[in-house]
Amino acid sequence: MNMVKSVNKSLVALFLIVGILFISILPASASSEIDSCQGKQVVYSQEPIIDEAVLYDRAKKGETDLITDQSFIKDLKFDEKLIKDFKVKSYVTTQKLKEVRDVSVKGKTGTENTYVTTIFTELLPLSYSSGSSYLEQPVVDSQTASVRSTLTVYFDYRKDVIGSFNYYSAKLTSVKSKWDILDSQMSISNGFVRGTANGFNVTSFDPHYESGLITHLGTGSGEYNLISYPSSGTSYYYYPNWNNWINVYPDGTQVGGRAEITIKRNATGTTWNFPHSLIVNWNNIPN
């Protein structure tokens, strides 16, 4: 009996030693193990800036990690009624959060970058005398914004070099919107945060394969987040119900986000639709 107890104690001790050794050689995270197995290497990583004041300052100064992001502002379109009554000012900044290089066993390379772009758009009221219905009495054009919309879009962009061909793909990760009322006479209602995508679904990077056309307009089931009673200064999110990489061609393909809100001048009852979009396409990313 003593011999059995001694053997049992020895086995327990042996299992403990093996367990400790096994734990000590495990990778720091499951994702790093997968990356290593797939030949991926993280060459750049940066935490996103969460201080909105810092982001706003970067945007106004034109500081960005993506030199082509001014094209996001050029793509903004607003209702005729809105631009008749308000001066619209927009500022944009982009942060590069991560760069991963993927080298296959055949020597083919892929580069995957993660970006977050933030656009600030402010509405400054025009005077009544200029034809605006915003104000009750004629005044000098205001230099102070009445409403500010902040739209933030997280997306990935990938380039694969296979032989003499370059392939580009994009994927939407999330959309965030926030509306700030800067004039106590204004109010907001009926907000939307939408995700959009249009292009051929990439099913394989190496070799490069595509399947059917994917279209998300931001209006279908699961393509938007409705905020019936939005609050000033509160952030609202949309996470896409798809996880597709979209092949990016020079024409017609894109991923992106869109935010909309109805703003109201309480004194007059006048309302405006305030849309705000960000479209990532061939023109926005250096090729």
Over range 138-156, report the average pLDDT.
Answer: 79
**Is residue 260, in this structure, part of any structural domain at all?**
yes
**Is residue 107, in this structure, part of any structural domain at all?**
yes
**Is residue 18, in this structure, part of any structural domain at all?**
no
Over range 191-200, report the average pLDDT.
Answer: 95
**Is residue 21, in this structure, part of any structural domain at all?**
no
Task: State the SS3 of the chain.
Answer: CHHHHHHHHHHHHHHHHHHHHHHHCCCCCHHHHHHHHCCEEEEEECCCCCCHHHHHHHHHHCCCCCCCCHHHHHCCCCCHHHHHHEEEEEEEEEEEEEEEEEECCCCCEEEEEEEEEEEEEEEEECCHHHCCCCCCCCCCCCCCCCEEEEEEEEEEEEEEEECCEEEEEEEEEEEEEEEEECCCCEEEEEEEEEEEEEEEEEEECCCCEEEEEEEECCCCCCCEEEECCCCCCCEEEECCCCCCEEECCCCCCEEEEEEEEEEEECCCCEEEEEEEEEEECCCCCCC
**Is residue 7, in this structure, part of any structural domain at all?**
no
**22-59 tens-digit pLDDT:** 334 333 333 333 333 357 889 999 999 999 999 999 99
**Is residue 269, in this structure, part of any structural domain at all?**
yes
Confidence check: pLDDT of 13 > 60: no
- Percent of the chain surpassing pLDDT 90: 59
pLDDT at 135: 53
**Mean of per-residue pLDDT scores for the chain:** 82
**97-106 tens-digit pLDDT:** 999 998 765 6
**Is residue 11, in this structure, part of any structural domain at all?**
no
Confidence check: pLDDT of 251 > 80: no
**103-142 tens-digit pLDDT:** 765 667 889 999 999 999 999 988 654 445 555 443 444 5
- Based on the structure, what is the number of domains in the chain? 1
Lowest mean per-residue pLDDT among 10-19, 38-47, 220-229: 10-19
The model's pTM: 0.80
**269-281 tens-digit pLDDT:** 999 999 989 998 8
Q: Which range marks the domain in which residue 219 is found?
A: 41-280
Higher pLDDT, 252 or 65: 65
pLDDT at 210: 94
Over range 10-26, report the average pLDDT.
Answer: 42
**Is residue 126, in this structure, part of any structural domain at all?**
yes
pLDDT at 163: 82
pLDDT at 31: 37
